[in-house]
Structure 1
């Protein structure tokens, strides 16, 4: 799986299809992140989310995990020189388990995994959360409306061909988090309820 080929146009394509909805959904809960938080971002994409977070929270620090080297290169271009001491870039797919985090962020990340692999991913991410930490999960949800089914089918075909993602359909990611005992504290829906951002606690 690699998003290198699509990295230069990823943000443009998402904006064409979803307008501001993908951006609005991902920044919705950023103001809830406490000062001095250690934040893990899995699948950070082109890095604009880090720029937004640092503008809102001047004392947090980030571990940014992204498999695509080109995505990381774009992300570094968005970071102010004085903020590089606050972020650690990791080009990998594995969840870093060497520390525990105040906040975990997965934006359009859980949808990359088939059901059988998502169970382990969610368990690992829960294990790196602090006991009083929280998890911001933003992703697509399938209410089985015809237009949603069409968009999901189109996206999965496209990303399977271009980026070789493993999943071929949207996993029931909320059910996986619930099965791990995570509790919904707040949630907000976007783009006709097709995108949902959820704030979870342990």
Structure 2
């Protein structure tokens, strides 16, 4: 990716949401919406890679957080999120990646909405370790991503994933070539799965993990 690891999404910011709806219908938004009731009252929330701000808008409507850090590498995506959620004093908009988390920052909830699929294994491990470090004990990690239920997914899912990586590899310099082994990554961090729900015939999943 470019020097700022996720900033390639500047190129697709203006049409990413309409494109996602065209390809996946409401599945991506439905997966993220399903996670919202698992956020406790008064939580400090980290949203990393939230894009244009749709999820942030829903969080502000349906939860009562103490503070939200909206961490987004794409300058254009961050600008869209800020414009969409103006005058929100509990939200800090910060351009950057996990490397831009401040020493001592801690969160009750970490949300990774369709971001973990972007990284090859080594970078993903580094990212998840940093996010784990800022999540408090008994904190909640809310995951929504492309994550087929079946060990051997059907052909259409494999073709769609391949097309997705080719498209965003060209336009956004995404380095990953295939969907990660999320199960191994979460297990190595000793994060316990609490709840899960599938969307888009199992190609999209939402999961709730707890740090023990």
Task: For structure 1, list consecutive stretches of 5 or more residues without a partner in the other structure.
Answer: none
SS in 2 for 1:29: helix
1:17-36 to structure 2, matched below 5 A, reads 17-36=23-42
- Secondary structure class of the residue paired with 1:192: helix
Shift >3 Å, 4+ stretches:
none
- SS at 1:104's partner residue? strand
TM-score (norm: length of structure 2): 0.91
Question: The residue matched to 1:5 in structure 2 has which SS?
Answer: helix
Higher mean C-alpha deviation, range 86-95 or range 189-198 = 86-95
- Provide the rounded CA distance (Å) in 1 between the counterparts of 2:171 and 2:52: 17
> Equivalent of 2:207, from 194, 198, 201?
198
- Tell me the C-alpha RMSD between the 2 structures: 1.2
Q: After superposition, where does 1:1-202 map in structure 2 within 5 Å?
A: 1=1, 2-81=8-87, 83=88, 85-95=89-99, 96-98=101-103, 99-142=105-148, 143=150, 144-202=153-211
Q: TM-score, normalised by structure 1?
A: 0.95
Q: Secondary structure at the match of 1:162?
A: helix
Structure 2 gaps of 5+ residues are 2-7
Instruction: Return closer, same or farther for 1:11/1:123 CA change in 2, 3 Å cut-off.
Output: same
